Chain A
């Protein structure tokens, strides 16, 4: 199952034309439960890859391993040909990791320090990652970032409590961008928002990708959102990839019965709960 276990530093500068993010043989077990089982995918620079799955599919664990919040049991994660160290040994390594991949979390109400104003929470990231800018340079960059996510001076001085869910998620995006990462992981980043606000954030994300050329790893349970925001998609089920391909093709012509079930489950005019229940049982029988 585990294909390879590449030692920590296997950097190969000749490989720059390859994919930006390369994940292979990723595994993670909790107790006797295989949360992530031999997951592999690549993400091109400026690309957008969706990781789709339901609860327990391993999609969030995968995302957490990529940013280092969880340690993989096996597998490799390479950014621009560089193997990502399991545990950063020093400050420089830590900062480099942070500039490779940033993440926006699902819950906008819990992902910001409640005591710290928007200005300060973005400002401190700039201080950490762009000390060379100096005070005025940082102020300019801060204004730029706020403007990019559509926040004004009034929101900049506010603590998270005073902001709506959509505004907080804008802050979280601006804060992630402040580190100028190559890859941005969006872990169910629009799932907790109202539909009308969700569409605003999706628009914002599409625009930012176009402007910055940043690559997205969009983790979501929502196929319709994934369809709109990604180029490629992998479908996860019980920790394993069951289908992967161009998003439009996978959605139009799903090959795996599970992908088909997921698509049929989305409410629509000809939605038939009984038929869905039946194909779900059929799938379970098939797997057993």
Chain B
């Protein structure tokens, strides 16, 4: 599954290489966000899941902006991220819209999806080993995407070298001849990032790109992503379970729980003043290194599984502030200025 975007789909389109210039890029004024998801609902057949995997989520990413999408396992954050590339479970039923530059991804045919993946949106996955074909040299992996765009072999090699240099690989010429297993995880993730950049994407989707890496490597890979983003003005949707990491690199953060967005704020504010009890709980349960930090405080219970379909607020059972009405009615996401929060009691000052 993981290798589909970058390698497989590109190689499939080899014979149609030159027809790749954006077919439906609307004129789209600059006020329009680069990525705009509205009311996205995704349901699996009732036998597979009792509740929607995504339940009316909305989010947007502007050009050059880094937006975090944070949640625990089963929150739907990865599915939301994949939906932008049209990578959805086959049996899923969708509602809503996922617009990239004004084009609704959900309405695209195969060719349209391919063009979009090739030219506008790139994705970096969690496990770099799963994203590359272990039997092919890195050079082949990088140039196939470029060759599809009509570059000559020599040009493609030169460009691949340049890309590897951009992601901080020291001997790019030598690296092109190596096989994936000759790289460490961190180095291979750089190669994957370089591959993602081959199409000069406007939007980069990063699905836990550093989770499988060591902490010291994580910092370097994030640094590379940030630098490239600043240079090319790429918008980035950064999916992670690590609230601290998101806070350190993102402009804005969306917090997801059980398929819904429960809160969104500018990163610094979210960290300093969480408005949703779940966000607050998540922050309190994260162990801190700082010497006078409180010990982590767990959130009781466990995340809502796909087999459960709570009627009211999905977090109510784990929430210290929940009242009867929280279990009866699902809280809508209310936006005030830069803050959106889906909690019936958000305005009651329950959180400091």
Direct contact between the two chains A and B in their complex (CB within 8 A): yes
Do B223 and A273 touch (CB < 8 A)? yes
| Smallest CB separation, A191 vs chain B (Å) | 10
Q: Interface residue tally of chain B, by bracket?
A: 35 or more
Whether the Cβ atoms of B220 and A251 lie closer than 8 Å is no
Q: A198-B285, A198-B287, A227-B287 are in contact. List 18 more A-B contacts (CB 8 A).
A: A194-B73, A195-B241, A195-B282, A196-B299, A198-B296, A202-B296, A224-B288, A265-B215, A266-B244, A269-B247, A269-B271, A271-B249, A273-B222, A273-B223, A273-B249, A276-B216, A277-B219, A280-B220
B109 at interface (Cβ–Cβ under 8 A)?
Answer: no
B225 and chain A: residue at smallest CB distance: A273
Q: Given contacts A224-B288, A263-B289, are A55 and B219 in contact (CB under 8 A)? A: no
Q: What are the residues of chain B within 8 A of A223 when measuring CB–CB?
A: 215, 289
Contact between chains at B287 and A196 (CB < 8 Å): no
- A125 contacts B by Cβ under 8 Å: no
CB neighbours of B348 from chain A (8 A): none
A252 touches B291 (CB 8 A): yes
Tell whether A228 pairs with B296 under 8 Å between CB atoms, given A54-B214, A276-B223: yes
By beta carbon, the residue of chain B nearest A261 is B216
Residue of A with least CB distance to B244: A267
Which B residues are in CB contact (< 8 Å) with A55? 185, 214
B72 close to chain A: CB less than 8 A: yes
Partner of A268, one of B73, B248, B285: B248
A194 and B72 contact, CB distance less than 8 A: yes
Q: How would residues 109 to 141 of chain B score, 1 for a CB under 8 Å from any chain A CB and 0 otherwise?
A: 000000000000000000000000000000000
Q: With a CB–CB cut-off of 8 A, which chain A residues contact B289?
A: 223-224, 227, 251, 263, 266, 268
Whole-angstrom distance between the alpha carbons of A248 and B289 in the complex?
A: 10
Cβ contact within 8 Å between B72 and A195:
yes
A164 within 8 A of B: yes
Tell which of B215, B243, B287, B298 touches A221, judged by Cβ atoms closer than 8 Å: B215
Are the C-beta atoms of B286 and A195 separated by less than 8 Å? yes
When the two chains form their complex, are residues A221 and B214 in contact, meaning their CB atoms are under 8 A apart?
Answer: yes
| Contact for A199 among B220, B299, B305, CB less than 8 A | B299
- Known A164-B302, A276-B220: A202·B215 in contact at CB below 8 Å: no
Q: Establish whether residues A273 and B214, one from each chain, have CB atoms under 8 Å apart when the complex forms.
A: no
Whether a CB of chain B sits under 8 angstroms from the CB of A197 is yes
User: Can you list the 9 inter-chain pairs with the closest CB atoms, starting with the nearest?
Assistant: A273-B223, A199-B298, A224-B287, A276-B219, A199-B285, A196-B299, A54-B214, A194-B72, A200-B298
Instruction: From the candidates B223, B243, B285, name the one contacting A277 in the complex (CB within 8 A).
Output: B223
Q: Could you tell me which A residues sit within 8 Å of B by CB distance?
A: 54-55, 164-167, 194-200, 202-203, 221-225, 227-228, 248, 251-252, 261-263, 265-269, 271, 273-274, 276-277, 280
Indicate whether B94 reaches chain A with its CB closer than 8 angstroms. Answer: no
Contact B302 A166 (CB under 8 A): yes
Closest beta carbon of chain A to B78's beta carbon, Å: 13
CA distance A202 to B245 in the complex (A): 21
Does B290 belong to the interface (CB within 8 Å)? Answer: yes
Residue of A nearest to B242 (CB): A267
Shortest Cβ distance from A260 into chain B, in angstroms? 11
Q: List 15 A–B pairs whose Cβ atoms lie within 8 Å, in order of A's numbering.
A: A55-B185, A55-B214, A195-B285, A196-B281, A196-B303, A199-B285, A202-B296, A223-B289, A225-B287, A228-B296, A251-B291, A252-B291, A265-B219, A269-B271, A276-B220
CA distance A227 to B289 in the complex (A): 7
Nearest Cβ in chain B — how far from A131, in angstroms?
35
Residues of A within 8 A of B296 (CB): 198-199, 202-203, 228
Interchain CA distance A103-B338 in the complex, whole Å: 48
A164:B305 contact, CB within 8 angstroms = yes
A202 and B219 contacting across the interface, CB-CB below 8 Å? no
Q: How far is the CA of A236 from the CA of B107 in the complex (A)?
A: 52
B14 contacts partner chain A, Cβ-Cβ < 8 Å:
no
Asked if B291 and A199 make an inter-chain contact with CB atoms under 8 angstroms apart, the answer reads no
Which of the residues A167, A202, A252 comes within 8 Å of B287, measured between beta carbons? A202
Partner of A274, one of B73, B223, B242, B245: B223
CA distance A260 to B303 in the complex (A): 35
A251 CB → nearest B CB, Å? 7
Q: How far is the CA of A164 from the CA of B226 in the complex (A)?
A: 35
Give B9-43 interface residues, CB cut-off 8 Å to A: none
In the bound complex, what is the Cα–Cα distance between A200 and B300 (angstroms)?
7
Residue B290 contacts which of A197, A221, A268 (CB distance < 8 angstroms)? A268
Distance, CA A265 to CA B185, complexed state (A): 17
Q: Which residue of chain A is the closest to B70 with respect to CB atoms?
A: A195
**A222: B residues at CB distance < 8 A:** 287
Query: Hey, which chain A residues are within 8 Å of B242, CB to CB?
Result: 195, 267
In chain B, what residue has the closest Cβ to A203?
Answer: B298
Bound together, the chains give a CA A273 to CA B241 distance in angstroms of: 19
B243 to chain A: which residues have CB within 8 Å? Answer: 195
Shortest Cβ distance from B303 into A: residue: A194
Provide the bound-state CA to CA distance between A7 and B322, in Å.
63
The chain B residue with its CB closest to the CB of A276 is: B219
CA distance A267 to B242 in the complex (A): 9
**How close is B174's CB to chain A, nearest CB, in angstroms?**
18
Task: Report the separation of the CA atoms of residues A280 and B245 in the bound assembly, to the nearest whole angstrom.
Answer: 19
Pick the contact of A273 from B219, B299, B303 — CB < 8 Å? B219
Q: Is the CB of A194 within 8 A of B241?
A: yes
Taking the nearest CB of chain B, how far is it from the CB of A268, in angstroms? 7
